[in-house]
């Protein structure tokens, strides 16, 4: 009998502090940085984002999302035998946020590691967990995307600081006799490092270089729509499915125009697109599991639906996962 993996529960968590565009614009204006609700909504679709308080870490957000996914799956933390946390804003340089989250869940022993693929982190992590389950290395995985992107934003740069937010999403992925995850398609191209990066690093006890996010938004935009279409088509082809089989497109929530552009290229009606970017902003690796959980809990996504998850981010990295929910 073939061994597959299937999502059995989803969860998410947003830090309570919600900042609307108007509130952010007022804060920025006090520092001489000019922006407006109109500009942000028109160019990105974002209306609000959540920011974590200073003493809240990625693993703090992640553990809330993880507990909620475990509850939805009807599983105890002690049953989990693999933890992967996709993040670019870990609690520490080391150890991984996954090990810290594991301890916060009150469990020990199972492998736990972080995966760094920026905004593609969740589709990468889901693919790795799927492979480990199929190989027999794990049978009940916790796959988390969690970020405190507010820590790496340059609040003097209006072209980036209005785009991002903090949050976490999680799924429990379990071994199953039936799929589950149907196919995935992952890619990276390191020649695009410069268009989206946080170039600073820790060296000799000090931060060397700029530790804040830098982005060439237009270059990212142009690359994103093309690669997302390619990855989605490749995932469909691997599974022997077509666009018509997709019930819901759950894309990385960066910019409504990129999401609509991808849906259009895949000939999907806009009402098959899950959108949370308006309320969350871009939460990087957390955005896909957050959007997934919101759509599941609102009753939009139902058991048996076919989902296309897809992400694109710094590196450049990109990828898609096709699954039966
Ligand atoms: N408020 C007001 N004006 C602004 C703001 C702002 N927050 N930001 C930029 N502007 C101005 C610019 O200065 C420019 O002014 P100018 O014409 O006088 O020079 C004007 O608005 C237009 O700027 P553009 O950069 O051309 O605006 P564009 O329509 O390309 O939108 C944006 C910019 C939103 C960043 C867009 O390019 C984009 O979404 N790119 C993709 C970003 C993305 O998806 N990143 C994440 C993917 S990976 C990851 O998530 C880590």
Question: For the segment 87-130, what is each residue's pLDDT rounded down to a tens digit?
Answer: 999 999 999 999 999 999 999 999 999 999 999 999 999 999 99
Residue with tokens 């105890």: 76
Composition of the chain by helix, strand, coil, percent to 5: 40, 25, 30
Same domain, 135 and 158: yes
Same domain, 21 and 158: yes
Which residue of 42, 44, 220, 228 sits with most ligand 1 atoms within 8 Å of its CB, as the best mutation to test the pocket? 220
Q: What ligand 1 atom has the least distance to the C-alpha of 158? A: 7
| Catalytic center residues | 119, 252, 282
Same domain, 139 and 43: yes
Which residue of 36, 196, 221, 284 sits with most ligand 1 atoms within 8 Å of its CB, as the best mutation to test the pocket? 221
pLDDT digits (tens, 9 = 90+) for 215-268: 999 999 999 988 999 999 999 999 999 999 999 999 999 999 999 999 999 999
> Mean pLDDT of all residues in the chain?
97
Domain boundary residue, one of 148, 176, 204: 176
Same domain, 149 and 186: no
Q: How many domains does the chain have?
A: 2
Domain boundary residue, one of 176, 198, 231: 176
Domain boundary residue, one of 176, 202, 227: 176
**Rounded CA separation 306/192 (Å):** 32
Same domain, 281 and 296: yes
Same domain, 117 and 203: no
Q: What ligand 1 atom has the least distance to the C-alpha of 284? A: 50
Q: What is the DSSP string of 202-248?
A: EETTEEES--S-EE-HHHHHHHHHHHHHHHHHHHHHHHT--GGG-SE
CB under 6 Å to ligand 1: residues?
35, 39-40, 43-44, 118-119, 158-159, 162, 196, 215, 217-218, 220-221, 224, 254-255, 258, 282, 284, 312-314
Residue 191 has pLDDT above 90, yes or no: yes
Residue-range definition of the domain harbouring residue 293: 181-324
Please say whether the beta carbons of 9 and 140 come within 8 A: no
């Amino acid at each position: 009998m073939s061994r597959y993996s299937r999502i059995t529960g989803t969860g998410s968590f947003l830090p309570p502090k919600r900042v609307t565009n108007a509130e952010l614009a007022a804060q920025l204006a006090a520092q001489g940085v000019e922006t407006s609700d109109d500009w942000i909504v028109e160019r990105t679709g974002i209306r609000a984002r959540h920011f974590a308080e200073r003493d809240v870490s990625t693993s703090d957000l992640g553990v809330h999302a993880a507990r909620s996914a475990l509850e939805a799956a009807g599983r105890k933390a002690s049953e989990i035998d693999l933890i992967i946390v996709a993040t670019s804003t870990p609690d520490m340089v080391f150890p991984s946020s996954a090990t810290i989250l594991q301890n916060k869940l009150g469990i020990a022993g199972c492998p736990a590691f972080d995966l760094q693929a920026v905004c593609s982190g969740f589709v990468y992590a889901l693919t790795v967990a799927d492979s480990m389950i199929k190989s027999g290395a794990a049978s009940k995985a916790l796959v988390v995307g969690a970020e405190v992107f507010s820590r790496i934003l340059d609040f003097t740069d209006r072209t980036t600081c209005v785009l991002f937010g903090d949050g976490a999403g999680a799924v429990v992925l379990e071994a199953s006799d039936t799929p589950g995850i149907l196919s995935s398609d992952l890619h990276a191209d390191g020649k695009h490092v410069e268009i989206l990066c946080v170039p600073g690093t820790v060296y000799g006890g000090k931060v060397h270089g700029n530790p804040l996010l830098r982005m060439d938004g237009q270059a990212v935009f142009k690359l994103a729509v093309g690669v997302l279409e390619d990855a989605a088509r490749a995932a469909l082809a691997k599974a022997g499915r077509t666009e018509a089989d997709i019930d819901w497109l759950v894309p990385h929530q960066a910019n409504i125009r990129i999401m609509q552009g991808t849906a259009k290229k895949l000939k999907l009606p806009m009402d098959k697109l899950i959108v949370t970017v308006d309320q969350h902003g871009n939460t990087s690796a957390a955005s896909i599991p957050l959007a997934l959980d919101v759509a599941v809990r609102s009753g939009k996504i139902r058991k048996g639906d076919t989902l296309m998850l897809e992400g694109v981010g710094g590196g450049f990295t990109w990828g898609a996962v096709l699954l039966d929910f």
